[in-house]
């Protein structure tokens, strides 16, 4: 690593879609010097859950750059042209692209940016008395930087009672492909009913060689929630949505988040329809033994030689049962958490009453001290700006905000593409939150 500046403008931690988008936009500003680090040996987006036909839930035009800089060479459209696929791509009847293709797009970008470093883990960050971050890479190399950008992604949300059993027989859905072959002729428990759980169930039904003996599918939810995806709802996936959620009265935010959740975290309609069709065909051909139970909590796991006894609580019947299973797939989602390398400076970070970091409107952490140094966040602000924070839709806009702040002026016009009808819709949502918490005036 060779840099012309002794103090870098930024050090970015993690190389995923959000920080790749940032790198693409920063390529237009060579005076800003910084580096992106990732502990993995190479880039791969969800490598152990990259199902062949899984589709992206956002439109392909919401790529790394187009919402802010459509003439940038790192647009998805330019990627298609460079691959010689332009006419074939637009001859398709399906506007959605697969996650595999999106992963290929990101892989195409990375070699073109010379400040991405793999096999390089940020292991510690401290702030010196000159208000400069001292960043340690791989426990040995030190870099000085004015700003830190967090982009290492969310962590697996695994119930505490299950954590000590995580391995080849109890695993998170993000490691499904790593352990898939071990499911042959086994009794498999799938926990959760979001998009990931449905994709796993669909894959198991389609599979011709990896066939479990029995599948038990349970969810704490009382229903299968489809992704709320229509033109009116999509107006909420704009910069204004993030700004309005941010400005919403703090006490309203949990209710508003709950109301908006299935605009982001629901099951896509195509996946739901495909899965039901497979259920129907399974009843005809009796390929697999399957049982489904909603309103059901997994409450305990007990090892039994090479299998497990699992305790299930059926909420509607107020009953508990113990079942024996061989494999447990936890499609239990993700949680947002500050990375461990910030431990030394965690005391200067401001937290709210729920012990979540307070994030400012420029996506930097609020600090308890006066300093020009900033720690920017990618995908850590759902509690501040709503479910939109983890969605690919706004990543160029968020990165434009970060760039504007680092440069100290508005090099990007981030307010140009407002949706005229949006404010009235959001007013209705805020009124609903007020009614839920306070009641009618």
pLDDT values of the chain reduced to their tens digit, one per residue, 441 residues: 668 789 999 999 999 999 999 999 999 999 999 999 999 999 989 999 999 888 888 889 999 999 999 999 999 999 999 999 999 999 988 878 999 999 999 999 999 999 999 999 999 999 999 999 999 999 999 999 999 999 988 899 999 999 999 999 999 999 999 999 999 999 999 999 899 999 999 999 888 888 899 999 999 988 888 888 777 777 778 888 888 888 887 887 888 888 888 888 889 888 889 999 988 888 887 777 888 999 999 999 999 988 999 999 998 888 899 999 999 999 999 998 999 999 999 999 999 998 999 999 999 999 999 999 999 999 999 999 888 898 898 999 999 999 999 999 999 988 776 665 555 566 666 666 655 665 544
Helix (H, G, I), strand (E, B) or coil at 268: coil
Asked if 363 contacts 375 with a C-beta cutoff of 8 angstroms, the reply is: no
Asked if 40 contacts 28 with a C-beta cutoff of 8 angstroms, the reply is: no
User: Which pLDDT does position 441 carry in this prediction?
Assistant: 47
**Residue 340 region, left (φ>0) first, then alpha (ψ -120 to 50), else beta?**
alpha
User: Which pLDDT does position 261 carry in this prediction?
Assistant: 82
168: which 2 tokens? Answer: 């080849």
CA distances from 70 to 63, 83, 240, 400 (A): 10, 18, 20, 13
Pairing of strands 334-335, 187-191: unpaired
**Alpha-carbon span 106 to 43, nearest angstrom:** 8
Residue with tokens 């009116």: 232
Helix (H, G, I), strand (E, B) or coil at 97: coil
Residue 152 CA, distance from chain mean position: 10
**Alpha-carbon span 345 to 341, nearest angstrom:** 9
Q: Residue by residue, what is the 3-state secondary structure of 333-401?
A: CEECCCCHHHHHHHHHECECCCCCECECCCCEECECCCCCCEEEECCCCHHHHCHHHHCHHHHHHHHHH
**Alpha-carbon span 438 to 252, nearest angstrom:** 10
User: Which pLDDT does position 437 carry in this prediction?
Assistant: 61
Report the sign of the C-alpha dihedral through residues 170, 176, 177, 178, in that order.
negative
User: Which pTM does this prediction carry?
Assistant: 0.91
């Amino acid at each position: 690593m060779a840099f012309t500046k002794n103090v870098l403008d930024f050090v970015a931690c993690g190389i995923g879609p959000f920080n790749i988008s940032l790198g693409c936009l920063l390529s237009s500003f060579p005076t800003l010097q910084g580096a992106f680090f990732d502990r993995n040996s190479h880039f791969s987006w969800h490598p152990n859950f990259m199902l062949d036909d899984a589709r992206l839930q956002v439109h392909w035009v919401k790529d790394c750059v187009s919402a802010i800089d459509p003439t940038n060479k790192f647009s998805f459209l330019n990627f298609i042209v460079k691959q010689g696929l332009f006419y074939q791509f637009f001859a398709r009847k399906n506007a959605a692209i697969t996650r595999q293709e999106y992963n290929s797009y990101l892989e195409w970008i990375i070699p073109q940016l010379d400040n991405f470093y793999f096999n390089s883990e940020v292991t510690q960050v401290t702030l010196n008395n000159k208000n400069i971050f001292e960043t340690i890479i791989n426990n040995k190399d030190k870099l000085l930087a004015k700003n830190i950008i967090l982009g290492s992604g969310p962590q697996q949300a695994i119930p505490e009672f299950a954590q000590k059993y995580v391995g080849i027989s109890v695993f998170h859905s993000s490691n499904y492909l790593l352990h898939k072959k071990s499911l042959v002729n086994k009794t498999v428990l799938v926990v959760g009913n979001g998009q990931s759980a449905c994709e796993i169930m669909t894959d198991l039904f389609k599979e011709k060689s990896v066939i479990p003996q029995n599948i038990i599918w349970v969810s704490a939810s009382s229903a299968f929630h489809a992704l709320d995806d229509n033109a009116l709802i999509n107006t909420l996936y704009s910069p204004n949505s993030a700004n309005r959620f941010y400005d919403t009265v703090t006490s309203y935010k949990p209710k508003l988040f709950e109301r908006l959740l299935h605009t982001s975290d629901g099951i896509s309609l195509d996946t739901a329809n495909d899965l039901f069709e497979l259920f129907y065909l399974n009843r005809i051909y009796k390929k697999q033994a399957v049982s489904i139970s909603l309103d059901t909590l997994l409450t305990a796991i007990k090892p039994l030689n090479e299998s497990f006894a699992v305790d299930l609580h059926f909420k509607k019947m107020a009953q508990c049962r113990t079942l024996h299973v061989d494999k447990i797939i936890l499609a239990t989602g993700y949680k947002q958490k500050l990375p461990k390398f910030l431990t030394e400076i965690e005391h200067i970070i401001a937290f709210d009453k729920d012990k979540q970091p307070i994030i400012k409107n420029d996506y930097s952490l609020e600090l308890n001290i006066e300093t020009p140094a900033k720690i920017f966040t990618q995908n850590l602000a759902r509690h501040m700006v709503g479910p939109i924070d983890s969605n690919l839709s706004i990543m160029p806009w968020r990165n434009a905000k970060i760039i504007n702040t680092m440069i100290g002026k508005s090099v990007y016009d981030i307010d140009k593409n407002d949706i005229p009808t949006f404010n009235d819709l959001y007013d209705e949502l805020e009124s609903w939150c007020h009614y839920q918490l306070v009641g009618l005036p």
